[in-house]
Amino acid sequence: MPFDVLYAGQTSRAFAVRFNGTVHAYLNRCTHVAMELDWQPDRVFDASGQWLLCASHGAAYQPDTGQCAGGPCQGGLVKINVVDKDGVVCWQTAYNLKPLAF
Ligand code: FES
């Protein structure tokens, strides 16, 4: 599920995934080169469904933590805290993470 955030003052893409029943959200920005991970629009899981995979050079991230699991990534994805209450998922702001202004 893609969504937009204001990260460090810039409009940025983010995404949320459900993995093993729990929702996790991250900034959609690879730590190798600041590119979106998607290998197809809004597709970030590898074929096995076990890893978040960057389409550019194959960096793999753990879906539940965002930590680098292999490939050229350098550190973990920027995690966005979420609250899943009765099936309604909301992401939480942080000092460098804000909603877009309308
Ligand atoms: S930009 Fe993601 S692996 Fe290189």
**Average pLDDT of the segment spanning 12-24:** 96
Helix (H), strand (E) at residue 26? strand 22-27
Q: Cβ < 6 Å from ligand 1: which residues? A: 30, 32-33, 35, 54, 56-59, 71-72
**Beta carbons within 8 Å of 93's beta carbon, 6+ residues apart:** 99
Which residue puts its alpha carbon closest to atom 1 of ligand 1?
33
CA quadruple 40, 93, 65, 59: dihedral sign: positive
pLDDT tens profile 25-79? 999 999 999 999 998 888 999 999 999 999 999 999 999 999 999 999 999 999 9
Give residue 6's domain range: 2-98
Please report the pLDDT score of residue 102 as a whole number. Answer: 78
Among 49, 85, 51, which Cα is nearest to 67's?
Answer: 51
Please report the pLDDT score of residue 87 as a whole number. Answer: 85
Please report the pLDDT score of residue 19 as a whole number. Answer: 97
Say whether pTM exceeds 0.75.
Answer: yes
Please report the pLDDT score of residue 40 as a whole number. Answer: 86
Which CATH number characterizes residue 61's domain? 2.102.10.10
Count structural domains, the chain: 1
Rg (CA), the chain: 13
Ligand 1 centroid, distance to 38 Cα (angstroms): 10
Q: How confident is the model at residue 22 (pLDDT cuts 50, 70, 90)?
A: very high
